[in-house]
Amino acid sequence: MKVGSIEYAESFIGYFEWHSEHEALFIPEATVANEVVALMRTQPLTREAIEAVWRLMVDIDRIAHYNGTMWYGFRSAVQAWLSLKGYRALPAPDTPPGC
């Protein structure tokens, strides 16, 4: 699997889903990861779908979630995909809104 592929991003979902059954802080990650991958698979892929992926990834950092190493792996996978699509970079996770 290539880092910027949809399949690579999708490979993280099972981890988030399994852990969300035992730790509530994984629920937002499982939810967002599923929504993001579904949008990445949109055919034909639209600018609106890409923007929605970006927005979901930014918005999750405004709520409590586990935010562990697997989330950073998923985030990197999505960032690579966004980059391949010519889209702007995600802000650093600790960036205040509007910056």
Residue among 3, 1, 72, 2 nearest 33 (CA) = 72
pLDDT band at 85; cut points 50, 70, 90: very high
DSSP label of 43 = S
Sketch the domain layout of the chain as residue ranges: 6-84
Rounded Cα distance between 28 and 90, Å, is 18
Read off the pLDDT of residues 48-80 as tens digits, 9 standing for 90 and up. 999 999 999 999 999 999 999 999 999 999 999
Give CA–CA dist 31/11, Å, rounded.
14
Q: Which residues contact 1 (CB under 8 A, 6 or more apart)?
A: 7, 8, 11
pLDDT tens digits for 5-64? Answer: 999 999 999 999 999 999 999 999 999 999 999 999 999 999 999 999 999 999 999 999
Confidence class for position 96, pLDDT limits 50, 70, 90:
low
